[in-house]
Amino acid sequence: MPNKNLKVLVGVVALVLIAGLAVFMKPPIGYNQGYQPTQPIPYDHSLHAGKLEIPCQYCHSNASYARHSSVPALNICMNCHNQVKTQSEHIKKLADHYNEGKSIQWQKVHLLPDFVHFNHQRHVRRGVACQTCHGPIETMKEVFQYSDLSMGWCVNCHRKPENNAPVSCSTCHY
Ligand code: HEC
Ligand code: HEC
Ligand code: HEC
Ligand code: HEC
Ligand code: HEC
C-alpha cells in the first residue's frame, strides 16, 4: 500500500514538473510579442529615426498607399552613405551590396498569418500613428514586435466607438 501511494506521489510530482517545464519553454508571450531577430547589418532606428529625426515615411514610403509598408531599398541608404561613414565595415558592406545590385536580407519582425488581411494604407490615412501599433520605434536600437498582433488586439481597437471601424469577420479574413 505505501508503495502504491509513493508511485502516485511520484507521478503527481512528475506531472507538475512537466507542466512547469512546458510553461517555461513556451515563447515568453503569445503571438511572438517581443520578437527581435538579429539583423544582417546593425541598422539603428534610435539613431536614424530618433537622433537624426529622419521621418518614418522617408524610408517606409509605401505605408500610406499600399497594403505593405516595405523596407527601404539600398538606394535610399546610399543617398547619405555615399558620403557618410564610408570607412565603416557596415557601410562598406552596404555599398558593396548596392554596387553589385544585391539587396540586404533583413529579417522580418512582424508577420501575420496568411489568412489575415491587413492594410497599412487604411490605417495610416486615417491618422493612426505608426507608434500606436509598433511602439516607440524611434528609441529602438533593434526593432522588436511591440504589440501581440492577436485578433483580440485588432478587434478591440476596431470596436472603440471613436474608430467606427468594421468588425465583421470578412473585414480581416478572406
Ligand atoms: C533611414 C531609413 C529608416 C527610417 C527613417 C525608419 N526606418 Fe524602419 N526600418 C528600416 C530598415 C532598413 C528596416 C529593416 C531592418 C530592421 O528591422 O531594423 C526597418 C524596419 C522597421 C520595422 C520592422 C519591419 C518588420 O520586419 O516587421 C518597423 C515596424 C519599422 N521599421 C518602423 C519604422 C517607424 C515607425 C519609423 C519612424 C519612427 C521608421 N521605421 C523609420 C529603415 C528605416
Ligand atoms: C494599425 C496598426 C498599424 C499601424 C498604424 C502601422 N502598422 Fe506597420 N504593421 C502592422 C502590422 C499588423 C504588420 C504586419 C503585417 C503583415 O504581416 O502582413 C506591420 C508591418 C510593418 C512593416 C513590415 C512590412 C510589412 O508591411 O509587412 C513595416 C516596415 C511597418 N509595418 C512600418 C510601419 C510604419 C512606418 C507605419 C507608420 C507610417 C506603420 N507601420 C503603421 C501594424 C501597423
Ligand atoms: C539622411 C541620412 C541617412 C540615411 C538616409 C541613412 N543613414 Fe545611416 N547614418 C547616417 C548618419 C549621419 C550616421 C551616423 C554617422 C556617425 O556615427 O557619425 C549613420 C550611421 C549608420 C550606421 C552605423 C555605421 C557605423 O559603423 O557606425 C549604419 C550601419 C547605417 N547608418 C545604416 C544605414 C542603412 C542600412 C540605411 C538605409 C536603410 C541608412 N543608414 C540610411 C545617415 C543616414
Ligand atoms: C489602433 C487601432 C487599430 C488597430 C490596432 C487595428 N486597426 Fe484596423 N482599422 C482601424 C481604423 C480606425 C480603421 C478604419 C479606417 C477607415 O475608416 O478607413 C481600420 C480599418 C481596417 C481595415 C479596412 C476595413 C474596410 O473598411 O475594408 C482592415 C482590413 C483592418 N483595419 C484590419 C486590421 C487588422 C487585421 C488589425 C490587426 C492585425 C487591425 N486592423 C488593427 C484601427 C485599428
Ligand atoms: C479586425 C480584424 C479581425 C476581425 C474583424 C476578425 N478577425 Fe479573426 N483573426 C484576426 C487576426 C489578426 C488573427 C490571427 C491572430 C490570432 O490568431 O489571434 C485571427 C485569427 C482567427 C482565427 C484563427 C485562430 C487561431 O487560433 O488560429 C479564427 C478561427 C478567426 N480569426 C475567426 C474569426 C471570426 C469567426 C471572425 C468574425 C466573428 C473574425 N475572426 C474577425 C483578425 C480579425
| pLDDT tens-place string over residues 106-159 | 999 998 998 999 999 999 999 999 999 999 999 999 999 999 999 999 999 999
Q: Which of 137, 157, 155 is nearest to 145 (CA)?
A: 137
Q: Give the pLDDT mean for 78-88.
A: 97
Tell me: the pLDDT tens digits for 55-71? 999 999 887 766 777 88
Tell me: the pLDDT tens digits for 144-169? 999 999 999 999 999 999 999 999 99
CA-CA distance, 127 to 46, in Å (whole number)? 23
Q: Phi and psi dihedrals of 173, rounded to 5?
A: -125, 135
Number of the ligand 5 atom closest to the C-alpha atom of 171? 5
CB atoms within 10 A of CB 38: 7
Give the distance (Å) from ligand 5 centre to CA of residue 124: 21
* Number of structural domains in the chain: 1
Residue 83 lies in a domain: no
Domain that holds residue 34: 2-71+106-172
Residue 116: strand, helix, or coil: strand
45 lines ligand 1 (CB under 6 A): yes
Residue 18 lies in a domain: yes
Place of cell 490615412: 125
Give the distance (Å) from ligand 5 centre to CA of residue 121: 20
pTM for the complete prediction? 0.90
Residue 67 lies in a domain: yes
Place 102 in a pLDDT band, splitting at 50, 70 and 90: very high
Residue 32 lies in a domain: yes
45 lines ligand 4 (CB under 6 A): no
Average per-residue pLDDT for the chain? 86
41 lines ligand 3 (CB under 6 A): yes
Q: Phi and psi dihedrals of 116, rounded to 5?
A: -110, 135
Residue 143 lies in a domain: yes
- Give the end-to-end CA distance of the chain in Å, rounded to a whole number: 60
Please give the C-alpha separations between residue 99 and each of 85, 94, 96, in angstroms, as whole numbers: 17, 9, 5
